[in-house]
Amino acid sequence: MNEKEKMLAGLLYDSTAEDLSNERLKTKSLCHEYNLLKPNEYNKKKEILVRLLGKTGENFLIEPNFYCDYGYNIEIGENFYSNHNLVILDCARVVFGDNVFIGPNCGFYTAEHPMDPNERNKFLEYAKPITIGNNVWIGGSVIVLGGVAIGDNTIIGAGSVVVKDIPSNSIAVGNPCKVIKKI
């Protein structure tokens, strides 16, 4: 099993492997190109995101700046909107449902690192997927960690750090993020 296959399987892998490094460089070049486009260059923006991301709906917008590691592990549904400074570390799948709205300065981080410092110092890591349901609103400066699923019709309050699953029809806030109200 090569390092990419290990990464996609959620196993410990060497993040410095040449094939993965080359893929990240290609992706970061596309992100750079995207982030330099003029605000009114809608068609070019969409073209780059369709090339970059694993799956998109027809109607979506990601405001620059946007950064990701691989792109092909990201799926966005219909009517997706993200405000400025979205970061998705997509070593594992990151799936966004339909009608997802994301505030500025948000991060979705699938990458995890070993507790053992000897393994960590060898640039070994693993990744856990993230799933965001339909009709989800994520406030500004929210961080969502790997292994998390956020259910449909949910609101995540600004500044939250989501470390465990949040059920559907909830309002959740805080660090760590917790449900404060059912909708």
Active site residues: 113
As a whole number of angstroms, the distance between CA 26 and CA 30 comes to 6
Identify the CA nearest to 86 among candidates 55, 111, 71, 64.
64
Strands, E assignment, 9-154: 13-14, 60-62, 66-68, 74-76, 80-82, 86-89, 94-96, 101-102, 107-109, 111-112, 124-127, 130-132, 137-138, 143-145, 149-150
Q: Which residues pair with 60 in a beta bridge?
A: 80
- Specify the residue for token string 């070049």: 29
Contact 121, 107 (CB under 8 A): no
Cα–Cα distances (Å) from 27 to 73, 89, 93, 130, in that order, read 12, 11, 15, 20
